[in-house]
Structure 1
């Protein structure tokens, strides 16, 4: 009887681990932004970014930050003015949020 209860408990625990979804390692979707290069505006995007990983935005420079971010991922995006996701100037963009041209961004951290 004890063996059957133990076996049932182990089997149930394994089934529970398999059935419970694992937290996502990525934010599915696209984070869009605009950047300037040689005086011309270009679209930029981060596709299916990894969660909890800082992304320095391609095209953003020390002289010209990216702007007009649009978060079309399923996770929150914290947009930072500085590279490396550091500094006091940041803004949280929830899924579906966008910000205008006045929000400058150089790096983003996704959750």
Structure 2
């Protein structure tokens, strides 16, 4: 009887694993932003298929003492992007809708998290 219960439980767990979609841990698409390069000219940064639920500090603007914040974000992922004024998802924030949400150059950001 125990063997039958164990086999049934294992089969049920396998069926549940197969039924759950695998894409739950990443946003599909790209997220872009503008920042000032070392030469002072605007550069475009990209995050391709970023992980969901993880705070991402934008590497080009990670040090507030030596860089201006990024601006003009475009969210071309399938997830909502919440951008933050500070590193490590701290400070003021703004939410960008999926599939084309964007903001002007007045919105300053240093980090982002995708839902």
TM bucket normalised to smaller: 0.7 to 0.9
How high is the TM-score relative to the length of structure 2? Answer: 0.79
Q: Which runs of 5+ in 1 are unaligned?
A: none
What is the distance in 2 between the residues matched to 1:67 and 1:40?
13
Shift of 1:16: 3.5
RMSD, aligned CA: 2.1
* TM alignment of 1:1-111, pairs within 5 A: 11-12=11-12, 14-22=14-22, 24-37=24-37, 38-60=39-61, 61-62=63-64, 63-87=67-91, 89-96=92-99, 97-111=101-115
Bigger helix share: 2
How high is the TM-score relative to the length of structure 1? Answer: 0.82
Q: Which runs of 5+ in 2 are unaligned?
A: none
Paired residues in the alignment total: 108
Greater than 6 Å deviation, 4+ residue runs = none
